[in-house]
């Protein structure tokens, strides 16, 4: 069964350019290294558009779909698993966590994550605009 999530992170003030550059590089590394990651689309929130409620300035939203739970686990921990984490995402956390609002208990970026269950819909095959 496919695993789909939405994750929201907050970039710290003054770190936008560096964080967006790092996120774009992360997306390319995930694409190259994780064949079970089917969709990996980080978005900046368009603060100028209609939003309800108003999001935090600097909010990043990731929309992700994985082939199955194993593919999601590979994304989270790398191919060696939770006991020996190493991969694009874990490396990203080690190098760039300081650019994001972090949890005071463990120093990792605060992530608001929602697991999704697909009801219906479709994906067009055309390239998304501005990507």
- The two tokens of residue 73 are 């686990």
**Predicted local confidence at residue 107, as pLDDT:** 83
CATH class of this structure's domain 3-116 = alpha beta
* More confident site: 128 or 38: 38
pLDDT at 131: 60
Per DSSP, what are the bridge partners of residue 4?
65, 116
**Does 130 have pLDDT greater than 80?**
no
Write the pLDDT tens digit of every residue in 7-61. 999 999 999 999 999 999 999 999 999 999 999 999 998 887 777 776 778 999 9
- Print burial letters for 91-126: b (CB count within 10 Å at least 16), e (below 16): ebbeebeebbbbeeeeeebebeeeeeeeeeeeeeee
What tokens does 58 get?
């600097």
Whole-angstrom distance, CA of residue 7 vs CA of residue 112: 6
Which residues, in sequence order, are bridge partners of residue 9? 60
For the chain, the average pLDDT equals: 90
Residue ranges covered by each domain of the chain: 3-116
% pLDDT > 70, the chain: 95
Instruction: Please indicate whether residue 125 or residue 118 has the higher confidence score (pLDDT).
Output: 118
């Amino acid at each position: 069964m496919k695993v789909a999530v939405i994750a929201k992170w907050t970039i710290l003030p003054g770190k936008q350019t560096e964080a967006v550059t790092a996120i774009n590089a992360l997306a390319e590394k995930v694409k190259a290294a994780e064949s079970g990651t089917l969709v990996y689309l980080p978005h900046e929130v368009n603060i100028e558009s209609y939003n309800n409620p108003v999001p935090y300035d600097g909010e990043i939203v990731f929309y992700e779909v994985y082939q199955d739970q194993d593919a999601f686990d590979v994304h989270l921990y790398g191919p060696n698993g939770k006991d020996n984490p190493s991969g694009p995402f874990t490396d990203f956390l080690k190098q760039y966590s300081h650019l994001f609002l972090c949890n005071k208990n463990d120093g990792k970026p605060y992530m608001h994550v929602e697991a999704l269950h697909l009801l219906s819909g479709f994906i067009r095959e055309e390239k998304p605009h501005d990507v």
